[in-house]
Structure 1
Amino acid sequence: MQLTSFTDYGLRALMYLAMLPPEELTSITVVTEKYGVSRHHMVKIIHRMSQVGYVEAVRGKNGGIRLGRPATSIVIGDVIRALEPLSIVNCGGDACHITPACRLKSAIADALEAFLAEMDKHTLHDMVSGNNDLHSLLIPVRPA
């Protein structure tokens, strides 16, 4: 299984936002520059994450984006469910004539549930807290 780039960059954007002080706003442009992804793609990702409450988008001259809730309450499995189209195989309609007798569909469903159950054990806070290497990669040292 491979996560889509939409989910991948959504998780990365959340990790970046979680590294910032809670009150600090940043821009989508800054996030796109950190990860080298197109601004258009990141706008769609941030829009979706703001719809589900993971990101707060503040409009106006001094606007920007920040986490929409504390990193301790953002469960990675929930983020994946909100962003990822979790249909791994297409078993509906005329897509496959063996669907009525196929056991692969349930095995894949079980594997997906196991994956999500593992991701449910981790919060965004777990991914960034005390991760000095990540901090040094994402947040440059500001001159005094």
Structure 2
Amino acid sequence: MQLTMFSDLGLRLVMRLAAAEEGRRFTARGVAAELNASPAHVAKVVTRLGELGVLVATRGRGGGIRLVEGATGRSIGGLLRALETGEVIDCEAAECPMIPFCRLRGALAEAQEAFFAHLDGVTVDDLIARDGVGPVPLALAGPLREQVR
């Protein structure tokens, strides 16, 4: 299974915000630059994550993007279910003649749900663990970013 770019960016955005120091706010443009993504695409993802209650985006001076309290405890499987709105395969778009008797669509939907279910036990906190075992992978700003290149 391959995630849509929208879902991929949504997860990366949440992880980036979660890995930031306490109280830091971001702009969509700033996060887009850090994640090598289009500012317009990031803005759409921010809007959706706001609708899902994962983050808050405030306009104007002193505004910015920040995660809501408890967002880092959210399930990755749950986030993906909310972000991945389409089916694995779109049979109607292909005008497939096998639709009346095909079982592939159902099997793929079950496999997709198994994929999400596997990620239900993984939280954002798990992905950015600050447990001393290794560096937080999303410390993108400053010297670390230069080292990665």
Kindly indicate whether the alpha-carbon contact (under 8 Å) linking 1:22 and 1:67 is maintained by their aligned counterparts in 2. no
For normalisation by structure 1, the TM-score amounts to 0.86
Can you list the C-alpha shifts for 1:18-64, whole angstroms capped at 9, x where unaligned?
A: 01234221111221111111111111111111111111112220110
- What's the TM-score, normalizing by structure 2? 0.83
In the other structure, the counterpart of 2:95 is 95
Structure 1 residue 133 displacement after superposition = 4.7
1:13 aligned partner: 13
Partner of 1:65: 65
Q: Quick one: percent identity of the two aligned structures? A: 36
Partner of 2:29: 29
Counterpart in the other structure of 1:123: 123
Deviates more, 1:17-26 or 1:1-10: 17-26
- Whole-angstrom distance in 1 between the partners of 2:22 and 2:136: 20
- Secondary structure of 2:90's counterpart equals coil
Structure 1 residue runs of 4 or more that deviate by more than 3 Å after TM superposition: 91-94
Query: What amino acid is aligned across from residue 140 of structure 1 in structure 2?
Result: G
CA-CA distance at 1:92 after TM superposition: 4.5
Question: Cα gap change, 1:36/1:135 in structure 2, threshold over 3 Å: closer, same or farther?
Answer: closer
**Alignment length, in residue pairs?**
140
Q: In the aligned structure 2, how far is the partner of 1:117 from the partner of 1:8?
A: 17
Q: How large is the RMSD of aligned CA atoms in angstroms? A: 2.0
